[in-house]
Chains A and B, each alone.
Chain A
Amino acid sequence: MLNYDIVIVGGGPAGLAAAVAARDAGVDKILILERDKELGGILNQCIHNGFGLHTFKEELTGPEYAYRFIEKVLAADIEYKLNTMVMDISKDRVVTAMSKEDGMYQIKAGAVILAMGCRERPRGALNIPGYRPAGIFSAGTAQRLVNIEGYMPGREVVILGSGDIGLIMARRMTLEGAKVKVVAELMPYSGGLKRNIVQCLDDFGIPLKLSHTVVDIEGKEHLTAVTIAAVDNKGKPIPGTEERYTCDTLLLSCGLIPENELSRNAGVEMSPITSGPIVNESLETNIPGVFACGNVLHVHDLVDYVSEEALRAGQNAAKYVKGQLSEAKADIEIVATDGARYTVPSTINIGRMDDKLTVRFRVGAVYKDSYVSVYFDDERVMHNKKRIMAPGEMEQVILLKDKLAEKPGLKKITVKIENE
């Protein structure tokens, strides 16, 4: 069996940043395991710009952002294996992996960092009626075909879902000569950034129909048409509002799901809300020495925050393998309620906490002129006005160790949204 101090599952933005941080913290034997034939993860196909404004103070494309970290991994001589699938992670941190070159093998890891990312919600999870012809793609699959392989999935396109990938692909397909006829969104608001709605749809005159969904798909061999209809406030199609669009391509951009089969099999405790692991202040799961970061932990809006989170996971994993991390204890529970859907992390041990702890969360609806409030037990200690909060954007509060230390016996921190 091979031995490594830290094994990182996934060579995307989270895995790369975690690896670099662990090396900077003085860990010698680090191994990144990557399923694809290159490092960089999903950023390689995100060729649009807008990445890195927080991290590098400039606007980069996805591949450029990824390369900033790949360069660091190469410069630090961190080992990585490509075309390698991790099959299993055990409770005592034995990682089973396989590849065409090396066959099946096992690695004993001092610490494991989960950085597998997420995947798109597929058609099967959307309950769309109609035929099952060719021509229906997730937006990310189409993105890979167009941007990496150089193939066009089709010429006449309808998009269901207004997540950012769907919006980006509306522009991308249009620039490559396709006709994007409509973007239908089930919710009364878009989950995408305003900038993308303006620059990917409005710029090209592509209509966005909110509170609309696909109610029929036609075509036996290949897609020939879809029908969309307006929905009521329960998401039920309203008869008489159907509109039929002839098309050869339907793209689905209906949400992302953290990819946690490995974590579940390992016995990692999961949050039903994020579909990611429940972690403590050190981004450590319920299994000692197993950490998580990036979209496998919770789906992020900006890659900059992924890098920042992964840095912390890498540093904490380094502390763990050096025996500098005291035993995990959940002294304080963080509860999300009244509009705040979840928090990452979920618990805090003051002894292990850094001077500052960023707690990230998302809201469940659009809130205007509302307050993000933080309670230490029953006492309100933070009350920050926000002009706007939307489910598509991550929110955060920063907790200071000093402030927590002033409240010995503190059991519960509550994050909630208040009108006043």
Chain B
Amino acid sequence: MEKRELTCIGCPMGCQITVELEAGEVISVTGNTCGIGDKYARNEVTHPERTVTSTSVVLGGDKPRVSVKTANNIPKDKIADVMKEIDAAVVTAPVHIGDIVVKDVCGTGVDVVATRNVEAV
């Protein structure tokens, strides 16, 4: 049996939650004081996900960098790989909010999109 210790992010209480797993299946969630904690803990141990935000290089723009984000959550264990693709990306101005900077990043099915406008100069 596997035991995982988590801090709930649902509210400032920050309950210390213990999840017991057997062969990848959640057997018990303890330490939470409400339903939010239970849901958070189950998601977090079975398929943790994050949105990644960073910047990419822009050529010919009024700013040297454009801020970007993954348009949806990606699996947590892919964060480092996604960062490599974002760092390698170079786009040419103009770039506008929502424009795709990296398509289907690391095979996640999620695009990396611009989160601000950079005009051409």
Residues of A within 8 A of B (CB): 44, 47-49, 59-61, 63-64, 67, 146-150, 175-176, 193-195, 197-199, 202-203, 368, 387-390, 392-393
A61 touching B12, Cβ below 8 Å: no
A194 touching B12, Cβ below 8 Å: yes
B53 touching A47, Cβ below 8 Å: yes
Known: A61-B115, A195-B9. A175 touches B50 (CB 8 A): no
Q: Which of B56-85 contact A (CB under 8 A)?
A: 57, 63-65, 67-69, 76, 79, 83
- Number of interface residues, chain B, beta carbon within 8 A: 31
1/0 per residue, CB under 8 A from A, across B99-119: the answer is 000000000000000011100
A203 touching B55, Cβ below 8 Å: no
Which residues of chain B are near A149, meaning CB under 8 Å?
Answer: 64-65
B53 touching A61, Cβ below 8 Å: yes
Which residues of chain B are near A389, meaning CB under 8 Å?
Answer: 12
Residues of B within 8 A of A (CB): 6-14, 33, 50-55, 57, 63-65, 67-69, 76, 79, 83, 87, 97, 115-117
With CB as the reference atom, state the residue of chain B lying closest to A45.
B67
Picked from B9, B87, B116, the residue with its CB within 8 Å of the CB of A63 is: B116
B79 touching A175, Cβ below 8 Å: yes
A175 touching B83, Cβ below 8 Å: yes
B9 touching A148, Cβ below 8 Å: no
User: 19 A-B Cβ contacts within 8 A?
Assistant: A47-B53, A47-B54, A49-B69, A64-B97, A64-B116, A149-B64, A175-B52, A175-B79, A176-B87, A194-B7, A194-B9, A194-B12, A197-B7, A197-B14, A199-B9, A203-B50, A387-B11, A387-B13, A389-B12
Known: A47-B54, A175-B54. A390 touches B12 (CB 8 A): yes
Which residues of chain B are near A146, meaning CB under 8 Å?
Answer: 55
Picked from B8, B55, B68, the residue with its CB within 8 Å of the CB of A150 is: B55
With CB as the reference atom, state the residue of chain B lying closest to A195.
B9
A147 touching B14, Cβ below 8 Å: no
B7 touching A193, Cβ below 8 Å: no
CA distance A389 to B14 in the complex (A): 12
Top 9 nearest A-B pairs (CB, nearest first) are A63-B116, A47-B67, A195-B9, A194-B14, A61-B115, A150-B65, A390-B12, A388-B13, A150-B64
CA distance A176 to B87 in the complex (A): 8
